[in-house]
Structure 1
């Protein structure tokens, strides 16, 4: 019997190794990290700057790795929007039963915000520092930054130019987690626009990359949410986590 499959969608600048900090806490899962081209194991491939192409790439990876028809998909930040699109594609094309967990994101909105991907280098780096998640030693390493910056710009571009507002609401249950210091925390209920059922939300302590300081807690919530969904015991009202 196969373990429950957990598919991971990385954040901007991330790769297949971005969620390694969670693995020791999720030994009951078969963890499958999805990865966009141009980084990690796919470093020799061209970067994508089109959201739909990126989502299709992740979808195709997922389809080839399925071992059962019940799966959990988790995405952080950019990965949250990509996971939303992937689940929508699964609902439209397959009989796969999913549960979706997203973090570090208030979801796609109809509000067009200032584009960051095409900022001058110094301004772009300042925006990255505000988000956190990149160690100071990386910023200090000029050669390393010249590797990371094109990846980050491509990821910012595909996300910032995406438009998911016409996406039909999901039948899949959605669990949303954000940090209490995140800039758009007050917009967390925006995710409700993308769900036919009432979303569940939870707030952790921390900024945009609160996940790194809450690995055990996040893993426990992933387990609880997945078990309650696939045991068909999750209530119509948000359950206490």
Structure 2
């Protein structure tokens, strides 16, 4: 993560800005990115490198990984959302859009709810690779023995084959990944007001964790516009479609800025 710059605290990272070379701090809007289970802020470096000058890319760094590996992992989505919403308060001087993949989509949704309660409505919520929060499936991968849990990870892909094949390394990081899975699999949606921002749901056509019918239910969680886009691929479809996804993000953020931020 040598090319990831620290933000104002341990939770938020300022990622390298896009090719135009404009000052990130002067961008009209920021895109806050939330990693998947086992993921880190650096996962979003490709997004930052493709982002247009009008969007600064920030990424959340959960505890228990990379430069925060000595910290206790948080295995509760609500607690994560509380802490991140607090950390984002210093960034709310300009419009924020939220992008989360897999576990990150759940965390981003819960953060959006908290920000909205405090008077800051995000421009757009981009929910990637995750069924809607209200769609519950009884999943217990976090309770499996190590071998079974590793098989679950390998089945989803998303991690370089060399890393997944490094048994010693994988067993070293398993407690962190297992904690993330526990957070996701024990999450229960609390009914409440819909979001006042649009939701754009993105998913791979062959993603076993986010079937189109379940992704479509994100529509029920917003009182603003909803859009669903499907891409060829599995759970980590986005690694093969970064340029197209950044284009969608830039377009929707631009449209939301033009329409005006509901919180302002």
Specify which of 60, 69, 73 is matched with residue 98 of structure 2. Answer: 73
The gaps in structure 1 that reach 5 residues or longer are 234-241
Q: CA deviation at 1:148?
A: 2.0
Specify which of 142, 153, 159 is matched with residue 134 of structure 1. Answer: 159
Counterpart CA distance in 2 for 1:97 and 1:129 is 34
Preserved CA contact (<8 Å) 1:16 1:41: no
Counterpart CA distance in 1 for 2:120 and 2:213 is 34
Counterpart CA distance in 1 for 2:145 and 2:109 is 30
TM-score normalized with structure 2 length: 0.83
Provide the residue aligned with 1:36 in structure 2: 62
Counterparts in 2 of 1:97 and 1:141: CA distance versus 1, 3 Å: closer
Q: Does the alignment pair 1:159 with 2:179?
A: no
Preserved CA contact (<8 Å) 1:34 1:62: no
Counterpart CA distance in 2 for 1:165 and 1:206 is 31
Preserved CA contact (<8 Å) 1:7 1:62: no
How many aligned positions are there?
232
Counterpart CA distance in 1 for 2:91 and 2:40 is 17
The Cα offsets for residues 27-54 of structure 1, whole Å up to 9 and x where unpaired, read as 4221111111111221111001112111
The gaps in structure 2 that reach 5 residues or longer are 1-24
Specify which of 227, 232, 251 is matched with residue 224 of structure 1. Answer: 251
TM-score normalized with structure 1 length: 0.90
Preserved CA contact (<8 Å) 2:33 2:59: yes
SS at match of 1:157: helix
Counterpart CA distance in 1 for 2:224 and 2:45 is 31
Q: CA deviation at 1:124?
A: 1.1
RMSD between superposed Cα atoms in Å: 1.7
